[in-house]
Structure formats: structure tokens, C-alpha cells
Structure 1
Amino acid sequence: MTAIRTHLHDLLAQAAAATPAAPALSYRGTTVDYEEVWRMSRTAAAQLLTVGLQRGDRVAIYLEKRIETVVSIFAVSAAGGVFVPVNPVLKPTQVWHILSDSGAEVLVTSAERLPQLAAILPATRITQVIVVGDGAASDRTASGDMAADGAASLLLHRWEHGQLAAGEPASSSAIDVDPAAILYTSGSTGSPKGVVVSHRNLIVGAESVSSYLGNTSDDVILSVLPLSFDAGLSQVTTAFSVGAHCVLMNYLLPREVPRLCEQYGVTGLTCVPPLWLQLADLDWPEETAQRLRYWANTGGRMPRATLDRLRGVFTTAEPYLMYGLTEAFRSTYLDPAEVDRRPDSIGRAIPNAEVLVLRPDGTPCAPGEEGELVHRGALVTLGYWNDPVRTAERYRLVRHPQWRAPETAVWSGDTVVADADGFLYFVGRKDHMIKTSGYRVSPDEIEEAAYSTGLVRDAVALGVDDPALGQRIVLVATPTATGLDVVALTAALKKLLPLYMVPSRIELREELLRSPNGKYDRTLLAEEVVA
């Protein structure tokens, strides 16, 4: 009988059954095969059930990217819970928001990280903590009922004890449309919101992405992005869906990326634009660069100058320019065969998704007419955790014949335009568009002009309230070389942009603020500029 994939952990279980001895995960020189990762995941699932996990309970995972982090994710699925990955770079106050908002009662963390949370855990619902790690730190903090500092109600359990117990979880009663994860994503205002992702979303997403990337069990995928980021999690799920080898890294320095690519023979690499800007300037060993089969961009527009540089480095690799929403996991990609003809396009819908360009009344836009990107299909997530108001704003119905049951789609808030062939072009986010002198200006257009001068490495264009203009344009940038002055950059931009799009002020900095996912933090940058 052919097994169907109804739970996230089925990706791992089927890979372990098909190729048990194939390498699944590598981290810091250690490689484990699929059979071992699946054994560890089942045992960890049994431990979660032993500490009282019930179907639908949330389990927060606050670990650096390591083998136990991935095992925990699949263990929660096997135990019938909902995993909540917490970006390891977050500070305790930010972790508190995610723990409190998700209502997680179980936390998986390390012996080194647990003391950092002592002050905030009493103000959450966490009662059970599974502590990963060995040595003195684990012995001190994870001894049965011993409480962490300031958290007298916590019960601590050692990860290693659970692994030695060699338990087996019962089959999960969840089905594919049930919640599998809550991914917290920052918005333009307020605290991060939790996007509820189903098992179906994760399985279909892995299958869709692996199909257009052409992934096979021969691939070696370097996981650079955080697992709390949908695109980062996708590197693991995509690898497991085809039995590929996934190499885990905690990104610190750009030069570590080519080193790991060389060490493991990496064939696939996905990054966000700020990271690609750094990697494009490195000296890549020719053999390592030639081994790369594809590279992919997500999380923002790829500057044309960076695209050209990367294609000069990875001369035999296929470039995939992608667009995605956490609310719909992944939406579009540009076929590498179209990059020369349409380098500014975000492509067309990925397999098993439909992407529409709609007017505010829900009717379709004509080619060349700007509208809102709306995603429908199996990748549409379940909504925002415990937030019916924001869910109703973003998850709305699309029009169908009257006989058909209503269907919810994701209305992205992004303005796009489609050409006559259906290829999409990103215009801007509704909440990022700059309105100046009666014009609507896309920050991307200004940033692209700045990059094309060759004078800046990073660039973010912002709109600042102005009583006369509506908004005035401020460009925050880092120079490519020392000695750049604002006058020279302004003069270069005047040759490329109409006057109303030329920034009224340019601020040069050594580095730009970034979000935990590696994207430019436009909200904090705007606050700094206004201040």
C-alpha cells in the first residue's frame, strides 16, 4: 500500500524508509543519516508525550540551528503538537512575547540558553523544559524537578535521558489541515504575529519547491537562513522531501558560507538580498562555485547589479528569483530561462498555486495595471494565531461561481503588475510606498538606482512625513568604498531618476539595521531617521 503524506514528519519517515543510510543532516563536522534522525525524532516525540503533551499543544523551540533543533521540529509533529521555532538571536523580551502569545507549555532549549530566560519564564505558561546539552551546565540546570532561577514551577528534563529511553510515540490523530507550526513574522507595526501553518502547507510547499528547483537525493543544501523563517525552514523540508543532504550553519561571517560549500560539496544555496550582497564580494574557489547547481533569492528584490555579479561568480548555476509570503509559504519564482529577458520579474506562480492580480473590489486587473497580489491554493495558511481581526484583513474570500463553497485566499498587501505573458513585477508594499509631491513612488525603484551607481553596498529608501510634500524621501545607505560623499551620490542619482524621486536627504552608515531573518529592518530604520 502506498503511504500518503498527511503529517510533516511523514517527509522524514518516508526518506528514512527509502534511503536509511543516506546523509540527512550535518552540523559542525557531524553527519547523521536518515535512519538515525528518524529514530531520534520518534524518541523525542515519546519524551514529549511523557511530559504531558496533548494534541494541538504548542512546543517552543529556542535553540541555535543544530541537529537537535531539526529533530525537535519533527518530534513535535510525530507527537501531535504544534512547534513554535524561536529565532536564536532574539532577546529574552522578544522570546517572552512569542512564548506568551503562543501559549506554549513546553520549551526545548539548551543548558546555555535556559538561564537567560529565568526572568521571563514565570510570566509565561511554560511548565516543562527539555534541556539539550551535556557537561556541567546541563548537570546544574537539568536535574529532574530542580527549578531554574526565578521559575519555581518549572519541571526540567534532560534531552539525553529522553533519547536513552528509546520510546515510541503513538500514531498522531491529526490530519493534514490541522496546525503543524506557528511561525512568528514581524509586521510594519506592532509585535510579531504568529502565522499558523498546517501540515498540508508544509508538505505541499516542500513538494512544490523541490519540483521547480529539480531537487533530488543527490543534492547537498546549505541551510543558512533561520529555521524560524519560512524560507529557512523550507531548506530542511525540501531536502527531506527528496532525501537530500542538508547542512546546518548558524550564520556569523560571510566567508563561512563558501568554506562550508567547499567542505560538503554544496549544490543548492538560498539567501536573502543583504546576504547575497555580502557573498557576491567574496573570492569563491572556482571548483566550489562551479559545483553549485542553483542559487535562489527570497525575502526581497535582488538588485540588478548583485544579480549580474552573482551570475559572474556562479557561471554554471541556475539563478532562481523567488517571492514568498509567510502567510502562503512560497508564491512565485522566475524560471532561470527567463532571467535574461525579465531580470526584474518575480516570475509566475509556483506549482500547485495560483497567483492573481486583483483590484480592491476583487475583479482581475488587466495586463499592465497595478493591483494587489492574491495567492490561492494549498499553501494558504490557517490565519494569525489568536488574532481574528488581522486574520479577517489578510485572509479574504475570492470570487467563484455561486454554487461553489467560499474559498479563502491570502491578500498580500503587495502591489504588483503582470505583463501580457503573465509574468509578475513587484511594485511595492502598500505600507512601504512613498507618496511625495502627488506621486506614488516605490522604494525599490530608488534603491535599484542607488545600486546601479556602484557607489553603495546597501540601500533603503524611506518616506518621512512632510507638510508640503506629503512625504520626503530619505535614503539610508552604506558605501562600497571609503571616501564617498553625499554630494557625489546625489549627483549620480539625479542622472538616473526624475527630480521628484531623488532623495532629499542621504544618510551614510557603516551598517544597516537588519531583522532577525536577515532582511533590512525598515521599521527601525524609519524610527531612527525620524528621531
Structure 2
Amino acid sequence: MNHLIHDSIFDSAARTPDAEALVYGAQHCTYRTLAGQVTAMAALLLARGLQPGERVAVYMEKRIENVAAMFGASAAGCVFVPVNPLLKPDQVAYILADCSVRLLVTTPERLAQLAPVLAACPALQAVLVTEGALASTPAGTSGPQVLEWNALQAPPAGHLPHRRIDTDMAAILYTSGSTGAPKGVVLSHRNMVAGAASVADYLGMTASDRLLAVLPLSFDYGLSQLTTAFLRGASVVLMNYLFPKDIVAAVREHRITGLAAVPPLWIALARLAWPADTSLRFITNSGGAMPVVTVEALQQALPHTAIFLMYGLTEAFRSTYLPPSEVARRPGSIGRAIPNAEVLVVRPDGTLCDADEPGELVHRGALVALGYWNDTARTALRFRPAPGQDPALPLPEMAVWSGDTVRRDAEGFLYFVGRSDEMIKVSGYRISPTEVESVLHASGLVSEVAVFGVDDATLGQAIVAVAVADPGLVDRAALLAECKRRLPAYMVPAQIVLRTEALPRNPNGKIDRNLLRHTLQTG
């Protein structure tokens, strides 16, 4: 039985060494080859003296080196930190500095973009760069040592991996924080192995499955495409897609049996023509509610494909799923708890809600993360003792209090009601209003700004910014250009509203985002 997240690669390599593990473009990587690359990466880290639990960040698009670097870091006893490839240099530097990353794995082009900000990452000792590193490294660049990927071809021997157990850290996934600064969710090996086993169980995954990975690997939902596939010895096709039609073509070309996506992508895919003889056995949705009309369109386009509607949060990976047999009978439901998890609906005092009574979703079980990296205050807010424990238990079990309001019907099926915080969810990404506001303030073009989300049929929510500025000196185009320069595309406001009068305040003196949202929506 595998206890550490990288064990599944070696187990599959032992069972079926010549089975296909990864496909990237024209490259086909067997489990034997992948296990060799993971071993080589681990040996490199150990030879450089990285200690147990030290962080290794990976910042690149989906490719085989990305996967080998993450799982190689795990095999060495280190912690991998996948960084969203859409993030801009300042955002990447924040993550590298926040968790004291020792080694960064990236591409030559991305290293050149990061060079001006790496001085803000004093713990960074080395950068491992894919092909052409030395030729592409800016001349005169000081700071961490630059290593080439081919250094993995002859790893030094004699360095044994650090001993790790399943409750040790395995990865840190960064997600937007309510105060603006991203927060790192710390996952143990147990969290990731239990999550992979649970999902592979209810999806009925086998070694014959072929998954198309279109979501970022820095997203827990995207990363789970790898962990579930490796657990069962299945194959993953890595895709950095351009248009939805490319996904349909890839499903046909690679005989894909499983596809995961977020609601905006499913909305686009539902509008396309799918071949009648599609190989898709199942599709999954998470990262937001899929509109009922989209579900119906997908059922019509893919009549022989099982649809799994799911709910998850990075702090507990995955919480619920709705079996395909219930999709038509229970529109809008997020289902029941996944295997090896319990999902409770509770009142503010922690007592259980009655049927159809709205309450906070609380998740308990093996998937509950270890908290937020170096942030005891925010950890204490979200990770609290599970409800209903015997007071004689001296060490309380910790659960994730999601902040999401749900209701449970008389048959135990859950329905999402809303969020209790100000986070915005766009295309599956959780976005902090404060982080976008900080960029607009830093432009020097506004005196006040408030950012919030409004309902959007395609994105789930769209970002709106209301700013106070002199209309004779500032226009929307200038503010939009600044956002595009400093923020990834999914964080750029869909609408910028300029005002000349001060923004409204609530009784606590804070800008009243709810009033602004209501005013905007009612005209």
C-alpha cells in the first residue's frame, strides 16, 4: 500500500513499466521513464543538500518536466509548490519568498521574466531550468545558481531520501486570501493519497483510462488528474489548450475517457459538436455550479458519458459529488460526501441543522489540510474542532469550516446557497477583492476603489471595480491596461466604473461593497 504521494508512480512502474504515464505533444513517457526522471530529480535535490520539508517550486506550463519535478521533490522528502503559470513575476516572487523556496524549476523564458524580482527571494539557492538554460539566462544576472535540466541525466549516487511519513507535508498550494495576500494551503501525503483514492473510487477509474489534463496543475482539481491516474496506472495527456474546439479534437485524437473542467469551460464545450462515437466514459465539474441548461446540453451531446457534478475547496481537496444517476433527478445539487469524508451542515453554534435549514458546510476526515503556511490567525478561522465531539477527547479532531452556506434535503443531498465572505469565484479561481484593489491603488490613478463579484452566466462571477478618479485625467482604458500588466487574465476586472464622489461606507467605516453591488445591478 502506498503511503506517500510519489509511491503511486513507482508502484505503477513496478506493475506495468511500459504502460504510458504521460503524453505531452509528440512525447510519450512510460511509467518506467517517469519513475527514472522522478528518481533523478530527487537525487539532484539530495545532492544539493535540501533538507526534509524544504520547498521546491515549479513554475511552468504543463509538461513532463513539470510533473517529474513535483513528484521528484516529494521523493526526496521535500515539499513541492506548484505555481500557476498565469501569475506575473511579482506574484510569483511573493510565493517564493512566503514559503522560503530553496529551488525553483522553470523555463528559460520564465527565468528571464523573473530575473528582476528574484532579489526579493533571499532563500532561493538555485534555479533548475529546462533546455537551453545557460544560453537564455540574462548576462550578468546575479543571485541563485542556474542549473540545466540535463543535470538530471547523471544524478550522483549515495544520497538516500529523507524518511517521511504520511502526516508530513507534501505540497503547498497557493490560493487567494481574503486579506489580499495569497495563502498557502499545506497538504500532507495523507491528504493527497486519501483524496486520490476517494476520487478514483467513485469515478471507477482503471489502468485503461486516459485523462486529458486541461486545468492548471497548481489548482487542486487539476493536480488530482495526475494523482488519481498514477494511483490506478492510467495515462494523462497534458494539454495547454488554446480554444475549446482544441479540447474536442484532443479527446478524439488521444481516445480520452475522462475530462475535468470548470463551469465556464463546460459552457463553451456544450455549444460545440461532439462526435457520436466519443471515447469519453465520464466528465467531471468542480470550481463552481454548472448551470442546469449546460448539464442538459452536455447530456444531449454526450448521451453515453457519465456526468459527475462535484464540490470542493482547496483546504479539503474535494467534499461532495453527485452520482450520474441523480443528475437529472436533483438539478442544482452538489451531492453527498465523497468516500472517506463526512460533510456536516451546522448552525453558528456548531449544532447540526435540520433538513432544508441553511447552515455552514463543515468537512471532516482524512482530506482536511494542515492549515495555511505560516499563518496561524487565518488557520484558526478556517480550521477548527469538528462539531459534536465527545468532550472527554483530549485532542480534538480538526475540521474545515468552509464559509459556504448549504442546505441538506431530507434524503441527505446538499445544495449550495452562497458564500459568507467577499471572495470572488471566476472560472473556478478564488480571487481576493483586496488583491485587485491593491493593484489599482498602486497605479496612482485612483483615490478610492472597491472590487466585488457579480453573477455571470458564463464565468460564475465577473469582477467589477468601482473607482474614484478625476475623469478628466484618468480613463477606463488606462486602468484596464494597468490591471493587464500586473494581473493574470482571470483577475482582470470585466467592468470598471469611474466615479467622482467618495464611495459609500458601512457603519464600521469600511467601503460598502454590498451597497455598490446593489446600486450597480439595479441601475
Task: Evaluate the alpha carbon distance shift between residue 89 and residue 464 of structure 1 in structure 2; reply closer, same or farther with a 3 A threshold.
Answer: closer
The one-letter amino acid paired with 1:131 is: V
1:528 to 496, 499, 517: 496
CA gap of 1:237–1:459, structure 2 versus 1, over 3 A, is closer
In structure 2, the residue matched to 1:375 is 363
Aligned residues: 451
Give the secondary-structure state (helix, strand or coil) at the position aligned to 1:346.
strand
| Residue equivalent to 1:116 | 113
The residue that corresponds to 1:177 in the other structure is 167
Match of 2:243 among 245, 253, 264: 253
Q: Is 2:237 aligned against 1:244? A: no
The equivalent of 1:506 in structure 2 is none
- Tell me if structure 1 keeps the 8 A contact 2:463–2:495: no
User: Structure 1: where are the runs of 5+ without partners?
Assistant: 143-147, 435-445, 452-456, 466-512
Counterpart of 1:276 in structure 2 is: 266
- 1:317, CA displacement in angstroms? 0.5
SS of aligned partner of 2:75: helix
Q: Which amino acid aligns with 1:126?
A: L
Q: Find out whether 1:347 has 2:335 as its counterpart.
A: yes
The residue that corresponds to 1:412 in the other structure is 402
Compared CA separation, residues 11 and 517, structure 1 to 2 (3 A):
farther
1:22 correspondence with 2:23? no
Give the aligned partner of residue 437 of structure 1: none
Q: 1:207 to 1:297 in 2, by over 3 A?
A: same
Match of 2:315 in 1: 327
User: What is the aligned counterpart of 1:226 among 193, 204, 216?
Assistant: 216
Q: Structure 2: which amino acid aligns with 1:460?
A: Q
User: 1:294 maps to which residue?
Assistant: 282
Match of 1:74 among 71, 75, 81: 71
CA distance in 2, matches of 1:305, 1:328: 29
1:464 CA displacement? 9.8
Equivalent residue, structure 1, for 2:344: 356
Which is further off, 235-244 or 6-15? 6-15
Equivalent residue, structure 1, for 2:61? 64
Equivalence map 1:82-231=2 (5 Å):
82-124=79-121, 125-133=123-131, 137-141=132-136, 151-165=141-155, 167=157, 170-231=160-221
Q: 1:65/1:458 Cα in 2 relative to 1: closer, same or farther (>3 Å)?
A: closer
In structure 1, C-alpha distance between the alignment counterparts of 2:145 and 2:423, rounded to whole Å: 49
Q: Which whole-Å CA distance do the structure 1 matches of 2:142 and 2:421 have between them?
A: 44
Q: What is aligned with 1:471?
A: none
Residue 433 of structure 1, CA deviation: 9.9
Give, in whole Å, the separation in 2 of the partners of 1:216 and 1:129. Answer: 37
Q: Deviations over 1:87-127 (max 9, x none)?
A: 11111011111111111011111122111111011110211
- Secondary structure of the equivalent of 1:100? helix
Q: Deviations over 1:193-214 (max 9, x none)?
A: 1000100011000000000000
Q: Measured at CA, do residues 189 and 304 of structure 1 come closer, stay the same or move farther in structure 2, by a change above 3 Å?
A: farther
Indicate the RMSD between aligned Cα atoms, in angstroms: 2.5
Deviation at 1:163, TM superposition (A): 1.9
- Distance change (3 Å), C-alpha of 1:389 and 1:16: same
Q: Give the conservation status (yes or no) of the 8 Å contact 2:47–2:156.
A: no
SS class of match (2:244): coil
SS of 1:412's partner is strand
Shift of 1:153: 2.9
Structure 2 CA distance for aligned equivalents of residues 206 and 329 of structure 1: 10
Using the alignment, how far apart are the partners of 1:527 and 1:151 within structure 2?
39
Is 1:34 paired with 2:31?
A: yes
Measure how far apart 1:189 and its partner are.
Answer: 3.9
The more displaced of 50-59 and 424-433 is 424-433
Match of 1:389 among 356, 369, 377: 377
Change in Cα spacing, 1:200 to 1:527, as seen in structure 2 (3 Å) is: farther
Decide whether aligned partners of structure 1 residues 427 and 516 sit closer, same or farther in structure 2, where only a CA change above 3 A counts: farther
Partner of 2:438: none
Cα distance in 1 for residues equivalent to 2:10 and 2:459: 43
Look up the equivalent residue of 2:389 and give its one-letter code.
H
Q: Does 1:309 align with 2:297?
A: yes
Contact 1:87 1:516 in 2 (8 A): no
Q: Note closer, same or farther for the CA distance 1:408–1:150 as it changes in structure 2 (3 Å cut).
A: farther
The one-letter code of the counterpart of 1:403 is A
* 8 A contact 2:175–2:183 mirrored in 1: yes
* Residue of structure 2 equivalent to 1:481: none
CA shift digits 1:56-88 (9 cap, x unpaired): 100111111000100111100010100000111
Query: Which stretch has the larger CA shift, 339-348 or 155-164?
Result: 155-164
Q: TM-score, normalised by structure 1?
A: 0.80
CA distance in 2, matches of 1:461, 1:96: 27
Contact 1:272–1:300 under 8 Å retained in 2: yes
Amino acid at match of 2:181: S
Report how far residue 218 of structure 1 moved: 0.6
Aligned-partner Cα distance in 2 for 1:433–1:195: 16
Q: 1:6 to 1:517 in 2, by over 3 A?
A: farther
Partner SS state of residue 365, structure 1: coil
Partners in 2 of 1:299 and 1:280 — Cα distance? 17
Q: With the length of structure 2 as denominator, give the TM-score of the two structures.
A: 0.82
Q: Deviations over 1:226-273 (max 9, x none)?
A: 000000000000000100000101132111101111111000000000
Secondary structure of the structure 1 residue equivalent to 2:288: coil
Partner Cα distance (1:193, 1:207) in 2: 26
**1:507 alignment partner in structure 2:** none
- CA, structure 1 residues 458+180, in 2 after alignment: closer, same or farther (shift >3 Å)? closer
